Amino acid sequence: MDAARDWTRPTAIWPGGSPVATAEAESPPYSPATRAGDWVFVSGQLASDDVEDIAPSARVDGRLPYHADALERQARYIVDRLETVLGEAGASLDDVVQMNQWTVVPPAAEACGTPWRDVSLGRLVGVREERFGVGRPGSCIVGVEELLVRNTLLEIDATAVIGSPGRPVEAVETGGPRGAVLPYSRGTRAGDWTFLTCGVPVAPPGPEKAMPPWYAAPVRTQTDAVLTNLAAAAEAAGSSLADAVQATVYLASPRDYLDFEDVWRSWFAADPPARSVVPGVVLPWPGARVAASMVCLAPGSALERRAVETTEAPGPLGHEPQAVRAGQLVFLSGQMAADESSVAPGAACDPRFPYYGAPATQQMSCIMRNVAAICEAAGTDVMNICRRRAFHVDLADSVYSIQEWARHFPGDKPASTTFRIGGPLLVPGC
């Protein structure tokens, strides 16, 4: 890593140097990571070496299928890649403040009512604790339908904040034996920021390991439990949910949205955080229908927090602003090619002429127009985007959407994570 590089603008991180586009191949449509200031945003990493679907060192010998675990092998390979990418950016695994793990859940197992039956989460957690230390970092595990590379079982992306001797990255605890219910910290503090771990409808850590009664509770009760746990984590960090600037919410089904939204509005009556709601995922807790993670300003931060609004883009469909700016960072709410009624005009093919357009291209073009308007209202532009996460209902669309996305970034491309959820999105047709 070149210590003399200027990190004040988003810079693509490529281990071994930047790729060079040739006449035969364009530059890749995303970067392994983006560094901006002390922040490093790492793209979703897979156990592929970009030559084989699964890198040789991450494979399980088919002749001895019961002598190794595929998820564990892939996890080790991915964490090695994370470490390499972070190192090129001048960071390390110790600087990771938030990590997301997207795990493929076999549809057959899900249909049997035991979706995690064939997913060795214990070994995945073991790799994480071995490489990051017990309880670190704040982490989410979410089950999805499919990843971009055949036979891959796991995708991990990460956010790191490069600390200084006087401002190290710290884990946030909420009392009770760590890992009594969840095998990771409730959050992470780094400078002006607090990252709250995936809030889930379980009891706070304590000596009792019995499943609490709200595992089988309605979505409203579960949502209240999730936010209660996030509030306790924020309080342990000296902060509160009033300081939240961004939230990611995972729902088992889009049908859970209305009940979830009612409770969310009661907690955030005014000035809610930017928010992305991802339906159609599988959560690794029996009966869980909702989970969430948050980014908050740390206690005592002097950074200004303000909601971003513009009439040049459609208003939010739910209880969130178009974006929140906090200091030099802008957090956009989830974007779909939709207005207040349905799929936005021009973002869907005429049903009379279904083959006269490319919906994924049209929808990404619509999204980017809106993103550009929101960025401008926030005092920035799309060239300063550091990361995106793309949730597809059909990965066959991904090549068209990411090509349109990349067209807006003639130079360095932002970091990216892409996978398929068990659709539909909150606006059918998107």
Tens digits of residue pLDDT in 150-165:
999 999 999 999 976 5
Pull the structure tokens for residue 26: 């364009």
Compute the Cα dihedral for 117, 58, 423, 314 and give only its sign. Answer: positive
Taking Cα atoms as reference points, which of 9, 32, 6 lies closest to residue 19?
Answer: 32
Q: For residue 6, what pLDDT is reported?
A: 67
Q: Is residue 13 within 8 Å of 40, Cβ to Cβ?
A: yes
Least confident of 63-67, 197-201, 213-217, 410-414: 213-217
Length of the chain: 430
Taking Cα atoms as reference points, which of 192, 190, 201 lies closest to residue 158?
Answer: 190
Delimit the domains of the chain by residue range: 8-16+29-162, 178-303, 306-430
Tens digits of residue pLDDT in 217-258:
799 999 999 999 899 889 888 889 999 999 999 999 999 999
Tens digits of residue pLDDT in 45-101:
999 998 899 999 999 988 888 888 999 999 999 999 999 999 999 999 999 999 999
What's the mean pLDDT in 199-212?
56
- Per-residue pLDDT band at 177 (split at 50, 70, 90): very low
pTM of this structure = 0.90
**Could you give phi then psi for residue 109, rounded to 5 degrees?**
-70, -40
Q: For residue 26, what pLDDT is reported?
A: 61
Q: Is residue 201 within 8 Å of 250, Cβ to Cβ?
A: no
Axis-axis angle for helices 70-88, 121-132 (nearest 10): 30
Q: Per DSSP, which regions of 322-367 are E strands?
A: 323-326, 329-332
Relative to beta strand 415-420, strand 387-392 is: parallel
What's the mean pLDDT in 289-294?
94
- Per-residue pLDDT band at 372 (split at 50, 70, 90): very high
Q: How far is CA 415 from CA 56, 211, 225, 409, in A?
A: 25, 38, 33, 12
What's the mean pLDDT in 206-218?
56
Q: For residue 50, what pLDDT is reported?
A: 84
- Written as one letter, the residue type at 226 is V
Q: Is 94 left (phi over 0), alpha (psi -120 to 50) or beta?
A: alpha
Q: For residue 7, what pLDDT is reported?
A: 75
Q: For residue 224, what pLDDT is reported?
A: 94
Domain 306-430 falls in which CATH fold? 60s Ribosomal Protein L30; Chain: A; (3.30.1330)
Q: Is residue 39 within 8 Å of 126, Cβ to Cβ?
A: no
Sheet of 193-199: strand order equals 170-172, 187-190, 193-199, 290-297, 244-251, 274-278
Question: What CA dihedral angle connects 11, 44, 327 and 272, to 10 degrees?
Answer: 160
Q: For residue 353, what pLDDT is reported?
A: 77
Q: For residue 17, what pLDDT is reported?
A: 67
Domain 178-303 has CATH 3.90.1580.10: no
Q: Is the pLDDT of residue 404 over 90?
A: yes
* Superfamily for domain range 8-16+29-162: RutC-like (3.30.1330.40)
- Per-residue pLDDT band at 358 (split at 50, 70, 90): confident
What percentage of the chain exceeds 70 in pLDDT?
86
Q: Is residue 121 within 8 Å of 284, Cβ to Cβ?
A: yes
User: Which residues are registered as beta bridge partners of 277?
Assistant: 249
**How far is it, in rounded angstroms, from Cα 353 to Cα 64?**
52
- Per-residue pLDDT band at 347 (split at 50, 70, 90): confident
**How far is it, in rounded angstroms, from Cα 296 to Cα 110?**
34
Q: Which residue has the higher pLDDT, 64 or 259?
A: 259
**How far is it, in rounded angstroms, from Cα 429 to Cα 362?**
12
Q: For residue 213, what pLDDT is reported?
A: 55
Judge residue 369's burial from the number of C-beta atoms within 10 Å of its C-beta, 0-12 exposed, 13-18 middle, 19 or more buried: middle
